[in-house]
Amino acid sequence: MFRTRIFKQMADGGQQMAPPARGKSLPSAIRHPPSAIRHPPSAIRHLPSNQEGFTLAALLVILTIIALVIAYTVPDQWSLVMGRERDRQTIFLMKQFARAIEAWGKKNGGTPTSLDQILEARRPRFIRGIDKPVCPITGKQDDWILVPPSAVQGGGANVPPNIANYANTGASTATPGPRKLVKEASPRDYVGPFIGVRPAAEGKSYIEFNGASDYSEWVYTVMDLDMEIQARVAAASAK
């Protein structure tokens, strides 16, 4: 039955093939079809082994070039990004110190003479945290230099020794302008009344701060703080 049904479905030249006589075996071409029929060619042709090796070698060369480009460019760019971020953190801390100095002077009626006076204050707390802030540029706590009133020149009226008095008089009479640090008047071992702090670092900075592009020339005092506040108030009033 199965053989008869197969032969009925096969045609040769448009005519049905007659089933073989009983007892005769199937033709050899039917019993053993060609290998091309049993194993049709794949739709995807495989490359010869020598071409596959060439493709792999080219891929390795391209990956090596990309790795070399990354090795020579990414570290420099990453160093630049981290350097700028350290500069921003240092500027932020310098401004926080200026705020704390002014707040301490208003509360105590004078000018602080050491950072411990500000750091040890508790009611209110002028600097957040328990320990002395670390200088982001050097990574050390003690790398902050006190800036006395005589170490700042330019930018309007000079700050008097008493910050409390300056808050009532000097801020209103000072005029905006560039301020220059007199480094000789602000040595690393200075102890006495101070109106700001600066990092104990030297070298070209990643960010220019108040017109200074060297760490040794950076300065930010209560005068700069008051000027910045006045500028913000004036900008808000003009809107």
The token duo for 132 is 């002395």
Q: Strand, coil or helix: what is 186? A: coil
List pLDDT tens digits, range 52-97.
Answer: 566 888 888 888 888 888 777 777 777 888 999 999 999 999 999 9
Q: What is the mean pLDDT of residues 189-193?
A: 92
Verdict on whether the full-model pTM lies above 0.85: no
- What pLDDT score was predicted for residue 84? 93
CB-CB neighbours of 192 under 10 Å: 13
CB-CB neighbours of 126 under 10 Å: 20
**Residue 220: closest CA among 189, 183, 195:** 195
Strand partners, 15: 12
List pLDDT tens digits, range 84-142.
Answer: 999 999 999 999 999 999 999 888 888 899 988 888 877 777 787 667 889 999 999 88
- What pLDDT score was predicted for residue 99? 92
List pLDDT tens digits, range 149-167.
Answer: 989 887 544 555 556 555 4
| Domain residue spans of the chain | 76-238
CB-CB neighbours of 142 under 10 Å: 12
Distance CA 104, CA 225 (A): 14
Whether residue 19 has pLDDT greater than 70: no
